[in-house]
Structure 1
């Protein structure tokens, strides 16, 4: 087995675990939708918030997270077969899809929580602001990992470095 693959096997296994957990969480969210299900009448078994725009966002983001995490998991399984070229191609495919899955999972959480507290305007606004802020910070961290650009590109380095550095300073770590 190649030294590149030997050294990266732990990373692949960790990413495979994360993608499997994302798939599991998003799968569970499909069956525990915000507001629950209608239990009687002609709409029995249908989500109670089916017509709401927030629910549509919840379902779309959850679906994207589920499918992206499955693609990442399958690509990471291919990465474990031992061929260096296949490993690099599978890894380069999996990382962006896992980034999309994590981003969409956070948006699913925000949409679901927003729906759950939507009757209290100040709390739903606070949830939305926190979710958007977190999503922006997550994007700053994930986008440089998902876009294959050479480190010699000076402009890209500055664009990706300073927002990440500001987040580190803001959190005090």
Structure 2
């Protein structure tokens, strides 16, 4: 008799759950369909221009940040003291400092050294996370004085999307 009671209880609960789900679906309000006229208006409406952003290591959009991490994995290269003279639909330009770990004798024991740079952001494209926004996809550094060992006077980095 106990097996029959448990089986009946399980069957009853399943039936109640199914009825609840079906009842909820039936009770849900039906959205009114958009007319062809509304759809045509939306497709001819110009896109709202947005100021391009630079996306940080956490996937957050930034506009004219004062600092920016280049080496997201270990933080061994970052930009600080950024002063932006331009930030528009085509490009952005700033001066600042590239702080780089020399990793000598190894990164955990290395020394962070400072190098003055000019930063240029360009190649704006649609941001995958928000198709209504644009993001810069390339960052170029020009070392205006000394530079880290092994670096050229100008270095370009693709930015993540």
- Report the TM range for the smaller structure's normalisation: under 0.3
TM-score (norm 1): 0.22
Structure with greater helix percent: 1
TM-score (norm 2): 0.23
Structure with greater strand percent: 2
Higher relative contact order by CA 8 Å / sep ≥ 6: 1 or 2?
A: 1
